[in-house]
A = this chain, B = another copy of it.
Amino acid sequence: MRPREILFLFAIGAAGGLVGDAGNVQSGITQYMDSAGPLIWKSAWWFPLLVGLGTIATGVTRLRLGPTRPGFDPRIGVGAFAGVIAIYAASDIAFWNEGLSDSDSIGKVVLCSALALLVASFIADVPGILCGLGAAIAGPAVEIAIVNLDLSRYAPLTDGLFGVALWLPPLYFAFGVAVARITELIVARRTPAT
């Protein structure tokens, strides 16, 4: 990939991370510790950096997994980005009697999972699904490490996956699928197709 393309992937990843995380932090779902360092908007400075780098890594992985589909339409990229952000924001939604039960909201995990499958049903091919599965493992793993380093934490009752949220795997799955599709569009844009 060309430098401008890599920078673009970083930028949309960092921007999406900031926008989504702002809602999580404002709602109290996630909290940064004092040890996390200075903030950018509502996030610790390293959070958009990590998401941006993860976006680049996902795009590079996509290119290694096989040929990309032709056809450039920016609307597909906007839809892929917006679909992931919608799931991110859905994680801020309150569910009936959430917090009155003694465990994480099943409805929220189901909603985020269904929305992630919907995103994939519109844009995924096999390499995209692989990118999604990779992100669904790597993303939560990194977040679990961050929580264990006492840099951030999830609120009680939304921390059922080793201290992080149970809806992180579907969110990161959709992220991986979307980044793979956007990477395809970046390649297709070089030689505008049919």
In the assembled complex, A161 has its CB within 8 A of some CB on chain B: no
Q: A26, A97, A100 — which one has the most chain B CB atoms within 10 A of its CB?
A: A26
Given contacts A27-B107, A79-B121, A93-B111, 12 further A-B contacts (CB under 8 A): A23-B95, A26-B101, A26-B103, A27-B95, A27-B101, A28-B97, A75-B122, A79-B117, A79-B118, A82-B118, A83-B118, A85-B114
Docked pose: A1 CA to B82 CA in angstroms: 34
* Contact present for B95 and A92 (CB under 8 Å): yes
In the assembled complex, A149 has its CB within 8 A of some CB on chain B: no
Please list 30 pairs of residues, one from A and one from B, whose beta carbons are closer than 8 Å in the complex, sorted by A's number. Answer: A22-B106, A22-B110, A26-B101, A26-B107, A27-B97, A27-B105, A28-B100, A29-B96, A42-B106, A75-B120, A75-B122, A76-B121, A78-B120, A79-B117, A79-B122, A82-B114, A85-B113, A85-B114, A85-B117, A88-B110, A90-B111, A92-B95, A92-B105, A92-B107, A92-B111, A93-B95, A93-B111, A94-B94, A94-B98, A96-B98
